[in-house]
Amino acid sequence: MNEPDRTARVHGVYALADTSLLAAEQLLPRVESALIGGVAMVQYRDKSHDGARRYDEAKALRDLCWRHRAVFIVNDDIDLAERVGADGVHLGRDDASPAVARERLGPDALIGATCYNQIELAAPALAAGADHVAFGRFFASHTKPGEIYASLDLLRAARSTLDCPIVCIGGIRADNAAPLVAAGADAIVVGHGLFGPHIDTEAAARALAALWHTT
C-alpha cells in the first residue's frame, strides 16, 4: 500500500472505544453499532494493566473493524498494536516516539501524534514518523477533562500549513462537529458522543458521518 492510499484512510468519524465509557459486555456491540452507522476508524483505549483482557478486546475489535472495512488503531501501546496486528497506533506526549512506532510497526502503519493546541509540535512528530496529527480538545471532554483547549483558528492555521491528515478530538458530538469539518478536519474523534449513556450509537454515527456530505 503506498503512502497516499494509507493516509487517505484517516478520514471521517473516528470512534474512541474507551473502556472507561464501555463496560466489557457493551464494547463489541456498541462499536459494531457505530460501524454500522458509518464510523470509519476505531481507537481502542484502555488504561488498565490487565494484559490478557486488553489483548482479547483489541484482537476482537480488530476483527470487527476489518469485517466492516474500518481502520483499527490502538491508543498509546505499540506492543499491543504489534501483537494484534492493528492498523496503527496513536501516541501522546508521554508515550513512545513516533520513530519507535514506525520502526516497530512498519511503513504501512498509521501513526498519529497528539499535538494538543500547539501547531509547532506537528512538524517534529511528522519528521519522526507520524503520518497524521491530532489537535484538541475543542470542547469540554469527558475523557480528558483537564486538557487545554484548541480553537477553530488553530485548526484553520493547521489546515493551511500542514500537508497531512488532521484529526480533531475533545468533546465532539453530532451537534457541535460541523464547524470542525468545515474548517478542514479530516477526521473527528468521538467518544462520549457515541458511547455515552442513553445515546443511540448508530444514529449518532450516521449524523456525524453525514457531515462530510453537508459541509
Burial class (CB in 10 A: 0-12, 13-18, 19+), 168: buried
What is the DSSP annotation of 87-120?
SEEEE-TTS--HHHHHHHH-TT-EEEEE-TT-GG
- One pLDDT digit (tens) per residue for the chain, 215 residues: 334 468 999 999 999 999 999 999 999 999 999 999 999 999 999 999 999 999 999 999 999 999 999 999 999 999 999 999 999 999 998 878 999 999 999 999 999 999 999 999 999 999 999 999 999 999 986 665 666 789 999 999 999 999 999 999 999 999 999 999 999 999 999 999 999 999 999 999 999 999 998 64
Dihedral sign, Cα of residue 24, residue 28, residue 29, residue 33:
positive
Is there a cis peptide before residue 137, judged by omega within 30 degrees of 0?
Answer: yes
Length reported for the chain: 215
Predicted local distance difference test score (pLDDT) of residue 140: 81
Q: Is the pTM of this model over 0.75?
A: yes
Q: pLDDT at position 3, please?
A: 46
- The three cell numbers of residue 174 are 453530532
Say if residues 211 and 178 touch (Cβ distance below 8 Å): yes
Sequence-ordered list of residues with C-beta below 8 angstroms from that of 166, at least 6 positions apart, any chain: 132, 133, 134, 135, 155, 158, 159, 184, 185, 186, 187
Torsion sign (Cα): 47, 75, 61, 84: negative
151: part of which helix (H) or strand (E)?
A: none
Helix (H) or strand (E) holding 24: helix 24-37
Q: Are 113 and 91 in contact (CB under 8 A)?
A: yes
Q: Say if residues 167 and 156 touch (Cβ distance below 8 Å).
A: no
CATH homologous superfamily of 3-214: Aldolase class I (3.20.20.70)
Q: Is the sign of the CA dihedral 126, 130, 135, 137 positive or negative?
A: negative
